[in-house]
């Protein structure tokens, strides 16, 4: 019998595919709650190291995103300059899980502070009126080393969802 985390991981892996795009609603609640795991390696592609799974989400406004810390010394925090106007940033400590509510439509960039330079970053697209307003500002943010390469990939994948 699987525990909750294993069941959600299985559902996430099945629903996300190789590129980690998530759209599934958590079946354990009636609300729009999406889960992102902070991992040492992607279960669907073990050669992908230091990752959020999924690293790209598109969700309706008002959704919650739960960041889970099942392994490793990871955290999650919003990336400066990559939030819609009026949206609140977040920062969860190392090995700490947490939930955010995304009420403001737009593009939300985030990263793992200890592993940002190796590309442990992610993007949440919140649908709704005005969602495109912070797109150019978010794309203009400068990133270190491999994070810049990862952002180029995320933006390319995000464009296909718009």
Lowest mean pLDDT among 23-32, 53-62, 78-87, 145-154: 23-32
Look at the block and give the residue holding tokens 């991981």.
9
74 is in an annotated binding site: yes
143 is in an annotated binding site: no
pLDDT digits (tens, 9 = 90+) for 79-101: 999 999 999 999 999 999 999 99
111 is in an annotated binding site: no
Buried b (16+ CB within 10 A) or exposed e, 16-38: beeebbbeebbeeeeebbbbbbb
DSSP character at residue 58: E
Specify the pLDDT at position 61. 96
Give bridge partners of residue 149 from the DSSP assignment: none
List domains and CATH numbers for the chain: 4-159 (2.60.40.420)
**The model's pTM:** 0.81
82 is in an annotated binding site: no
């Amino acid at each position: 019998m699987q525990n909750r985390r294993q069941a959600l991981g299985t559902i996430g892996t099945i629903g996300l595919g190789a590129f980690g795009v998530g759209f599934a609603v958590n079946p354990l609640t009636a609300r729009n709650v999406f889960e992102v795991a902070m991992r040492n390696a992607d279960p669907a592609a073990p050669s992908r190291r230091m990752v959020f799974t999924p690293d790209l989400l598109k969700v309706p406004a008002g959704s919650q995103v739960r960041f889970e810390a099942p392994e490793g010394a990871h955290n999650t925090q919003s990336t400066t300059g990559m939030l819609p106007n009026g949206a609140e940033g977040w920062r969860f400590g190392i090995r700490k899980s947490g939930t955010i509510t995304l009420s403001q439509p737009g593009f939300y960039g985030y990263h793992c502070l200890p592993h940002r330079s190796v590309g442990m970053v992610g993007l949440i697209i919140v649908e709704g009126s005005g969602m495109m307003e912070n797109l150019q500002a978010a794309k203009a943010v400068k990133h270190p080393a491999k994070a810049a390469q990862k952002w180029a990939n995320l933006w390319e994948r995000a464009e296909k969802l718009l």
